[in-house]
A and B are shown apart, each in its own frame.
Chain A
Amino acid sequence: MAAVLGISGLYHDAAAALVVDGRVVAAMHEERLDRVKHSAALPERAARACLAMAGIDAKALDAVVFYEEPFAKFERLLGWLVQTFPRAPSYFARSLRQQLAKKLWVLDELSETLGVPRSKVSSREHHLCHAASAFFVSPFEEAAVLTVDGVGEHTTTAIWQGRGATLERRFSLEFPHSLGLFYAAITAYTGFEVLDGELKLMALAAHGTPRYVGELSRVLHLGADGDFALDARYFDAFTDTELGFGAELERLLGPARPANVPWDLARSPDDRRYADIARSAQVLTEEALLGLARRARREVAADALCLAGGVALNCTATARLAAEAGFSRVFVQPAAGDAGGALGAAILRALELGDPRPAPLGSPALGQAIDAGAGADLAERLGLGVSRPPRPFERAAEILARGGLVALATGRGEWGPRALGFRSLLARADDTGVRDAVNRRVKGRESFRPFAPSVLEANADALFHHVGADMTPFMTTVCRPRESALGELSGVVHVDGTSRLHSVSKERAPALAELLAEYERSTGRRALLDTSLNGAGEPIAGSENDAVAFFATHRAVDALLLDDVLVERRPR
């Protein structure tokens, strides 16, 4: 029996995960603690918070595992810098400094920072960590596992056979042939920030038509049997341009969109062109993933598929895989991106040490816990009204019913980038005016981006077609609402007629389940708009401090529910 800490970090979405005696006891994103969105730090805060959550001293750890092999990654970097010569002098200088000063010695730094003997600190291959993060917490005894991201050490894509407590690699593609890099290049081309804007590109795609598929097929060649290749001429990743795409792509598609210019899809033909390009990139990505999934189906005689890696967060694509790839079940764990590598790394080492495979992931609430008492005290000191009403959910449902916004911060924070009922901002789902107010007054997002619904698991089938019960609890796929439910869901249906459904059960998200039940009792409506508890450019709230700070600074939000404490504004 062992206590193993997994770590991902020093690139983006740093995280730590703790597995004790084969049980996932904590998993946290560094950004929820250091308050830097997509934090690229070595996640010391998250690591310590995981240990504190389990009541374990770092010295009692049996192993600490980093989610990639630092020297293998350095080798790939050097090889690529040789190939891109002479286009990367600044990038060469900067990346070598980062590598030599920090990244290469990350295992030593982890040992020193955590006070764990160096002999207990090791690393595992990036894509193996991704695969482990998906398969070992899935409900499947046997499954094909597909890992797809930008790049790990050398691998960008891999197919694995998962069986019991083992993972066996069946196929892989290497850098630079990468779906993640392709999507990142189009993300940068359309003016979004890479590693942040990929999901914006996915949302934008729904507004376009795929009329650039022909052009983009020259960039991403889809081969037979799941193979694909990028034409390097169109890319400029890892050079001084720092854009990801090259001048050749602009010659092919026209000028790139400048960053941070407001979008106007209704009036700007240029913006509609970018939406068409986004749609074309999305279609090609989905086709590539379908090819890979079908190959996985052939290579691995299993009826279930697990996905991991940043590309697995593309919930439109996961819905297509569930419908068309030939598997009866598909699972994507909530932190499918790099953060999830921490969880995979920890599980891999725990299995090596003889621990049993973890139970399937139940609740995503693996993060930092709220201290409602401390939050109430803080809110009072900041001049907010604090009460402990006998039926707080009834009061919250009242506010929601009249079109108000309620922030919910309860229990332990979510694992993964989605609000799943623990750090959520809630509103009516049947009112597009309320949706627009959430966007304009709180979230400050591009107007083309959709909001997601939360509904009780018991109501999901009545409201949506083909609910993928393995993914909807973690909001990692989309579903199509039933005609009869469109009025009830008008604020949470995307322009392509889908919704990123969050199905809620009492076991997984008790507070949100109770609030949804109360809302249905009092209004007859079964869905709430559920978005993450953060303002523009901020990480999701972690602690009660963050939740109270969010509420104090967003006057459009009417109430904050901190466990059983209701925080409201005092009348002026």
Chain B
Amino acid sequence: MLSVHSFFARLFAPLVVRDSGRAAAMLTRFARTELGNSLVMRWAAATTTSPVRRAAYLRHALDEERHARFFAARARKLGAPSRRLVADADDVFRLLGERRFVAFVHRAEARGQREFEAYERGFRAAGDAKTAAVFALVLRDERRHVEYSKDFFAELGVGRTTLAWVTAWEAVRAAQRSASVVFGALHFCVMLGLYAALVPFSLVARQRSRRKGAREVSARSVALFER
């Protein structure tokens, strides 16, 4: 099945792989996403009541942490600035409950697999074997994640209805996120206008601080510290 993600991955892969700056930015984004996914899986491991699934979720979380490190390291090699990764994630397990959560994990991993396959092919075709190898390593785990999550379907009663519900939920979430981006941009513009309105207040503040003068404190002798 060709999802929107894998469609765009196939479309943009040739553009991304030829430019190391773009590739580095994309790998950093992937690193951040994988780190976010690891949190989601850690929270799931902490919440599930099944010891079997707890181990599976935790193993999954550790895979995602490793992926984040792989992607971040490769991004740095391609010129990305060396910054601490900060992840953002929703507690999907708590939002959806475990049955829908497992369906969500399965769909997300399958989508990730298709996306990464497109990039792996792209980087290999562009002659960047090292970046392609990173994707190949990650893909090995992604395939396992797709399989293990499906193995829980019968146990948790995940059927077509659940998968359809999760598909719809993901669509709504994607729309909400897009709306949030638009709202954020709009908010930023409004705030800039509001910021400009601070001009008279800032003039008053400056006049006041000039009148008040500098805070008077007597500096101690520098010699005090020369010991």
Q: Which A residues lie at the B interface, using CB under 8 A? A: 33-36, 79, 81-83, 85-86, 88-90, 92-93, 96-97, 177, 193, 196, 210, 213-214, 217, 221-224, 227-229, 259-261, 280, 283-284, 287, 374, 377-378, 381-382, 537, 543, 545, 548-549, 552-553
Question: Which of B42, B61, B217, B224 contacts A223 (CB under 8 A)?
Answer: B217
Measured CA separation A259–B187 after assembly (Å): 31
- For residue A33, which residues in chain B have a CB less than 8 angstroms away from its CB? 46
Q: Mark B44-65, 1 if CB is under 8 A from A, else 0.
A: 0110000110110011011001
Measured CA separation A259–B42 after assembly (Å): 29
Determine whether the beta carbon of B58 is less than 8 Å from that of A378: yes
Cβ-closest chain B residue relative to A224: B218
Determine whether the beta carbon of B201 is less than 8 Å from that of A82: yes
Determine whether the beta carbon of A381 is less than 8 Å from that of B226: no
Measured CA separation A224–B39 after assembly (Å): 50
Cβ-closest chain A residue relative to B56: A381
- For residue B217, which residues in chain A have a CB less than 8 angstroms away from its CB? 221-224, 227-229
Measured CA separation A228–B224 after assembly (Å): 15
Determine whether the beta carbon of B195 is less than 8 Å from that of A92: yes
Determine whether the beta carbon of A93 is less than 8 Å from that of B191: yes
Cβ-closest chain A residue relative to B208: A83
Q: Mark B184-214, 1 if CB is under 8 A from A, else 0.
A: 1001100110110011011001100100000
Across chains A and B, the number of contacting residue pairs, with CB separation under 8 Å, is 115
- 3 closest A-B pairs by beta carbon, nearest first, are A223-B217, A93-B191, A381-B55
Cβ of B222 under 8 Å from chain A: yes
Determine whether the beta carbon of B225 is less than 8 Å from that of A549: no
Q: Which B residues lie at the A interface, using CB under 8 A? A: 39, 42-43, 45-46, 51-52, 54-55, 58-59, 61-62, 65-66, 81-85, 87, 184, 187-188, 191-192, 194-195, 198-199, 201-202, 205-206, 209, 215, 217-220, 222, 224-226
Whole-angstrom distance between the Cβ of A195 and the nearest chain B Cβ: 12
Question: Which of A34, A90, A227, A287 contacts B224 (CB under 8 A)?
Answer: A287
New A-B contacts (16) at CB < 8 Å, excluding given A82-B201, A96-B191, A223-B217: A34-B39, A34-B43, A83-B205, A83-B209, A210-B225, A214-B225, A221-B217, A222-B219, A223-B219, A224-B217, A227-B217, A260-B81, A261-B82, A284-B225, A287-B224, A545-B45
- For residue B51, which residues in chain A have a CB less than 8 angstroms away from its CB? 374, 377-378, 381
Measured CA separation A542–B66 after assembly (Å): 20
Determine whether the beta carbon of B225 is less than 8 Å from that of A287: yes
- For residue B187, which residues in chain A have a CB less than 8 angstroms away from its CB? 93, 97
Determine whether the beta carbon of B219 is less than 8 Å from that of A217: yes
Determine whether the beta carbon of B82 is less than 8 Å from that of A260: yes
Cβ-closest chain A residue relative to B88: A36
Whole-angstrom distance between the Cβ of B125 and the nearest chain A Cβ: 32
A-B contact pairs, 19 of them (CB 8 A): A34-B39, A36-B39, A81-B198, A83-B209, A85-B202, A92-B198, A213-B226, A214-B225, A217-B222, A221-B219, A227-B217, A259-B82, A259-B83, A260-B83, A378-B51, A378-B58, A381-B52, A545-B42, A553-B65
- For residue A214, which residues in chain B have a CB less than 8 angstroms away from its CB? 222, 225
Determine whether the beta carbon of B222 is less than 8 Å from that of A213: yes
Whole-angstrom distance between the Cβ of B141 and the nearest chain A Cβ: 14
- For residue A35, which residues in chain B have a CB less than 8 angstroms away from its CB? 39, 42-43
Measured CA separation A79–B205 after assembly (Å): 9
Measured CA separation A83–B209 after assembly (Å): 9
- For residue B184, which residues in chain A have a CB less than 8 angstroms away from its CB? 97
- For residue A280, which residues in chain B have a CB less than 8 angstroms away from its CB? 225
Measured CA separation A347–B123 after assembly (Å): 59
Measured CA separation A81–B192 after assembly (Å): 13
Whole-angstrom distance between the Cβ of A2 and the nearest chain B Cβ: 30
Cβ-closest chain A residue relative to B222: A214
- Central interface residue in B45, B65, B191, B206, by most chain A CB within 10 Å: B191
Determine whether the beta carbon of A36 is less than 8 Å from that of B198: no
